[in-house]
Structure 1
Amino acid sequence: MRYLAPYQTGLWLAEYFDIRCQLCRTYRSVPQPQLAHAYSSQDVESRGDAATQFLPSRPSSMAKYRQRFNSGLLCKHCHHSITWLPTPFTVDIAAGTILPIQAATYYDYPMRQAIRAFKYRENMTKLPLLLHTLRQLPRPHGCHKNNSVIVAMPTTEQRLIKRGFDPVLVLATQLSKHWQIPLWQGVARIDNTVSQQGLTRAERLSNLDNAFALIEKPPVKRLLLFDDVATTGASLQALGQAICSQTMPLTSDESHTTDYYHIRAYALAHGSQS
């Protein structure tokens, strides 16, 4: 994971030293815990200098220090403009087994432009916005570092060479830090698929036939799949199906249930990529 250091350094600089909103670049950014509070519509419309609204009348020196070096990433207006949590949807991954998929936001302006800039041009200036949005994903109930792992959507060797980096893995690493749940890279993607962009759902599913292979057994029973954009959910569905088909017991005896896995899926954004 050493190659992820430049991304982490850029995020630290954005979050702790840049007091301006990473989206509008006009108003002060606000620390994440303060953005979690409910604001009145009057607060949102006034916009103003967001950071000063949360300061006590006579801040201590420690409070001033925390304000200076923990400004956050977005102002409260921009935060509210992008953090509309989509309704979860489900896909079938095995007989009687569904995969719930939850995205952090919709694949619309400005997220569409930011994701494309980071994914296809490695535009580092968009990463803080993506990280802020990623943090809106609700932490899975009952999941922690000892019983769960995050499985980032694998990329092919050919695509990794072409891009020079793995954008989904970069984002998954940040989600891992936020949730304090480790990454697990025990699934490989076969180099015989094409990009899913622009394909119909039927074409996506056909394109992903036998696209994933487990290279080791999952270390825990709770698997949290992650992708950057979920359109129809076909990629996450195929990944979930591969895990189920390659880990389920070969016997139908109900007493052999040690290989039963709890699988959920998460994405940065949900919507059409066309």
Structure 2
Amino acid sequence: MQHQSMQHLAPYQTGLWLAEYLSIRCQLCRVHRSTSQHSSNILNPVSDSLPNNPSNLTNLRRFFDKRLNHGLLCSHCHHSIGWLPKPFQVDIAAASTLSIQAATYYDYPMRQAIRAFKHSEDMTKLPLLLHALRQLPRPHGCHHDNSVIVAMPTTAQRLIKRGFDPVSILSAHLSKHWQIPLWHGVQRVDNTVSQQGLSRAERLSNLDNAFALIEKPAVKRIILFDDVATTGASLQALGRTLHSSFGAAPLDQHQPSHGYHLFAYALAHGNQ
């Protein structure tokens, strides 16, 4: 599973590297000059993408640091996405709610960055999306041996139309950051339409029977992930599928259990 997530990362390392070192303006507002003090807090795509040769790596870093000493964001934008939104709850069964934690709000200018990446595969926006994603705290008690991440599945039809799956790219980086493997045991049925522009009632109706379980996970902690959670309907439907399939439920810290437990995260929360 870890090998599969790394396959998603490889084609995007050049884009990360270029965005980090060749752009002098803030990747969010595009107005202010980016600042160097945030580089170490955002990403280090060079060390992630180049061979592990200490001598060459050091010389290359010195070369770029001397000429292009800046980060990805200006000070204002860096601090504007530094606060996690409050988690919100959705019902997945009688007397059972799923808490969804987003990394940032789906507002300007982050909204434009997400749209550029999702709809145009704009690689210059990926580093700052990962910067926001890394603000998410890893679920308490979850680690490599007892947890998996389930990226929101897409349909074959949508994958062909778009040409790539942005959620799988983001989830692969989250998997690497948290050191928790991806799990592909759920598939999406090809009979739903895009959620964008639908009301909450329409979203819920559209997602009836939208997911099918292929297999049961080998671990008990399941972390659901989506790029944008508007009403949370997609994560809600996915959580309901897992709950009805094998009794997975949100973890109650006060009632320890040996059953399956659900967690839900998203890159951004807000209206699309």
TM-score, with length taken from structure 2: 0.79
Match of 1:129 in 2: 128
- Higher Cα radius of gyration: 1
Preserved contact between residue 149 and residue 181 of structure 2 (Cα < 8 Å): yes
Match of 2:202 in 1: 203
Residues 1:67 and 1:181: Cα distance change in structure 2 (over 3 Å): farther
When structure 1 is superposed on structure 2, of 1-10 and 140-149 the one drifting more is 1-10
1:22 aligns with 2:27: yes
**Helix, strand or coil: the match of 1:158?**
helix
**Helix, strand or coil: the match of 2:111?**
helix
Match of 2:166 in 1: 167
- Equivalent residues in 2 for 1:1-274, closer than 5 Å: 1=4, 2=7, 4-15=9-20, 17-18=21-22, 20=24, 21-23=26-28, 24=30, 26-31=33-38, 65=62, 68=65, 72-248=71-247, 260-273=259-272
Counting matched residue pairs gives 238
Residues 1:66 and 1:264: Cα distance change in structure 2 (over 3 Å): farther
Identity of counterpart residues, as a percentage?
71
TM-score, with length taken from structure 1: 0.79
Task: Say which structure, 1 or 2, has more relative contact order (CA 8 Å, 6+ apart).
Answer: 2
Alpha-carbon distance in structure 1 between the residues aligned to 2:36 and 2:215 = 43
Note the aligned Cα RMSD (angstroms). 2.6
Which residues of structure 2 form unaligned runs of 5+?
43-57, 249-256
Preserved contact between residue 16 and residue 123 of structure 2 (Cα < 8 Å): no
Alpha-carbon distance in structure 1 between the residues aligned to 2:23 and 2:120 = 25
Residues 1:34 and 1:159: Cα distance change in structure 2 (over 3 Å): closer
AA at the equivalent of 2:12: Y
Deviation at 1:71, TM superposition (A): 6.2
Alpha-carbon distance in structure 1 between the residues aligned to 2:88 and 2:140 = 17
AA at the equivalent of 2:106: Y
Residues 1:219 and 1:76: Cα distance change in structure 2 (over 3 Å): farther
**Helix, strand or coil: the match of 1:184?**
coil
